[in-house]
Structure 1
Amino acid sequence: MNALKEIPEELLWKANFNSDNSIETYDKAIHSFLAFIGVSSPEELREIHHGHVIAFKKFLQNEGHSPRTINNRLSAISSLFNHLIDNQVVKINVAQGVRRMPVNSDRVEAKVLTPEEVRKILNAPNTDKLQGRRDKAILSTLFFTGCRVSEVCTLTVKDFYQEQGFYVLDFWVKGGKRNRLAINQELQVAIREYLRIADHEGEKERFLFLPVKPAPGKSDKNRKLNRKTVDYLFKKYARLADVYGVTPHAARATFITQALENNCPIEAVQKTVAHAQIKTTQMYDKRVARYRESASFAVRY
């Protein structure tokens, strides 16, 4: 839907965000909303009302989107309309007063995998081929750093280097900040082996993980992997490892829980995964779910 693209204020609105990931997320939210209600011209923005937003919310619920995703879409609509009000394009914020979905703020629902399940996933790619080497390096990056998928996609070759005797990955994270962290030997080897076979280690400005097959009629010179590709390959190798119902976010939850399980200070875990607040890191801590300690096992009838 191109209605907003004809309005200069949209560009100013996008300029307020610090990261390409935020822009992409909010842009997708807005244009899915406009497509849903059938807006085809800038003038029709003035005809949007609260009922449209409520109907969109109900549509997302029926489609099976998570409460967090739905709230994110509503926040995007609210953010844009606040900007349009400031610039006198519209008079009201149509998302204001639309009730947000209840979200469990005590924990993150992503599944935590066992070390055995993680090892099966890491061993699933066929490393005799370039794609297998790349995919193993991507999976290793997710499981050994706890990073977000978007952070994997934006890594460049120069973001992988040695400093003070340590191999380092230097991520762009939420808020447009950098997060530099030392990585363990297994991840080092996976990335170095991939770069050796991919043969672009000397091209420091290129993305670290490249598409294996160029798009038709295009060079992969400046292309990067998108989040859908990483999501697809993660689920593919999880299925091969007989692990079902997981997304790449499970790697982040597993990393955090395993680090805490092995007595890593929670402050160090928070810094590694680039959480602004330690409370967010605590939400990923599944150590509290010690199923083997359930009182149910002590009951005999």
Structure 2
Amino acid sequence: MSEPQHPIQTTAEFLRLSDVPPEAEWFANLTNAATRRAYENALQDFMRFTGIARPEEFRTVTRAHAIAWRDDLVRRGRSGGTIRHRLAALSSLFDYLCEKNAVSHNPVKGVKRPKADSNEGRTPALGDHQARKLLDAPDGATLKAKRDRAILATLLYHALRRDELCKLTVKDFRHERRGVPHIRVSGKGGKTRYVPLHPATGGLVYDYLETAGHGEDGDGALFRPVKNNTGGGLGKAITADGVYKVVRAYSAALGFTIGVHSLRATAATNALDHQADIAKVQEWLGHANIATTRIYDHRKTRPEDSPTFKVAY
């Protein structure tokens, strides 16, 4: 006879959960860490501007509030892309509130947003010589140098996002498809893609794992901190901020300070410049829309490809 089932939650706990406002539900449902950070920054800025202190106060927001906030962002010198993204975050919240019948309409709908400056990305891509220098920048045989070389190679040869790199486990580097080593990448929206492992990256990663000693921990984080283990953190994955600091420090020492996304832009631009098929590059990057991939395609701007040089009389 089976034992009687006892509720996991008490009645009081159940009632508290039923009282969670939909504004808090919306934020809790943002599973992507980068999206959560960006949307949280946007909503906190809006709350400071309007004086909102409690989630329920969002239901009093009107289109006039959204327009005034947009104009304030312009006055503060925020870029068109930043303003569009912040309005999109606010609009996403109100779409959810409409769905939950907490408000009757989305006050952000119809608010004019700044036009995109162009179809080209603003993230700077490195030249080939700069990329080679960056790959060689971590010098020596220390664990940190080996880890950093492996991180930079993984970013530059595989165009991973920062959060994707942080999520990698040891066994993610040990996949094989049709006899070719692949990396299993957990991308945006819970989508998984398999990217062929570049031989240069593979050698550096295995050298790092041999020195680090966690190569048999298949489910454990691949890239880990190498110091400041005050809370037992050496077994955890390197943080997104930790990856940022790695890229920032080495690039600054070489005289071209960049962020992590520049390495993704560099890889995409390099692949396209070397005649990679744009549809394949889209799949490689994990882009849902090929228009996003086209941002990295600078071939149309190269003078040598102009029809001018195709004319012959």
Deviations 1:41-78 (A, max 9, x none): 23432343334333433454455544323222211111
Name the residue aligned to 1:3.
Answer: none
Report the CA distance between 1:109 and its aligned residue. Answer: 2.2
Name the residue aligned to 1:114.
Answer: 127
Instruction: Give RMSD over aligned pairs.
Output: 2.8
Structure 1 segments unaligned to the other structure (5+ residues) = 1-5, 295-301
Quote the Cα distance in structure 1 between the aligned partners of 2:135 and 2:263: 11
Name the residue aligned to 2:184.
Answer: 170
Quote the Cα distance in structure 2 between the aligned partners of 1:55 and 1:132: 49
Name the residue aligned to 2:246.
Answer: 233
| 256-265 or 18-27, larger mean C-alpha shift | 18-27
Deviations 1:109-151 (A, max 9, x none): 2222211100111111234322222222221111101121121
Residue 297 (structure 2) aligned to one of 285, 288, 292: 285
Contact 1:146-1:253 within 8 A present in 2 as well: yes
Quote the Cα distance in structure 1 between the aligned partners of 2:49 and 2:233: 33
Percent of paired sites with the same residue: 33
Name the residue aligned to 2:215.
Answer: 201
Aligned in 2, Cα 1:158/1:214: closer, same or farther, shift over 3 Å?
farther
Report the CA distance between 1:184 and its aligned residue. Answer: 1.2
Tell me the secondary structure at the aligned position of residue 182 of structure 2: strand
Name the residue aligned to 2:14.
Answer: none
Name the residue aligned to 2:265.
Answer: 253
Higher RCO (CA-CA < 8 Å; seq separation 6+): 1
Contact 2:175-2:184 within 8 A present in 1 as well: no
Where do 1:26-175 residues align within 5 Å? 26-61=39-74, 64-104=77-117, 106-163=119-176, 164-175=178-189
Tell me the secondary structure at the aligned position of residue 171 of structure 1: strand
Name the residue aligned to 2:8.
Answer: none
Aligned length: 288
Contact 2:23-2:56 within 8 A present in 1 as well: no
Quote the Cα distance in structure 2 between the aligned partners of 1:32 and 1:229: 25
Quote the Cα distance in structure 2 between the aligned partners of 1:144 and 1:152: 12
| 174-183 or 85-94, larger mean C-alpha shift | 85-94
Aligned in 2, Cα 1:41/1:262: closer, same or farther, shift over 3 Å?
closer
Aligned in 2, Cα 1:221/1:240: closer, same or farther, shift over 3 Å?
closer
Quote the Cα distance in structure 1 between the aligned partners of 2:139 and 2:66: 46
Tell me the secondary structure at the aligned position of residue 118 of structure 1: helix
Quote the Cα distance in structure 1 between the aligned partners of 2:72 and 2:229: 33
Letter in 2 for 1:108: G
Deviations 1:224-249 (A, max 9, x none): 333333223212211111224x3222
Report the CA distance between 1:279 and its aligned residue. Answer: 2.9
Aligned in 2, Cα 1:34/1:132: closer, same or farther, shift over 3 Å?
farther
Name the residue aligned to 1:182.
Answer: 196
| 110-119 or 91-100, larger mean C-alpha shift | 91-100
Quote the Cα distance in structure 1 between the aligned partners of 2:20 and 2:71: 28
Tell me the secondary structure at the aligned position of residue 284 of structure 1: coil
Tell me the secondary structure at the aligned position of residue 270 of structure 1: helix
Point out the structure with max Rg over C-alpha: 2
Residue 269 (structure 1) aligned to one of 278, 281, 296: 281
Report the CA distance between 1:171 and its aligned residue. Answer: 0.7
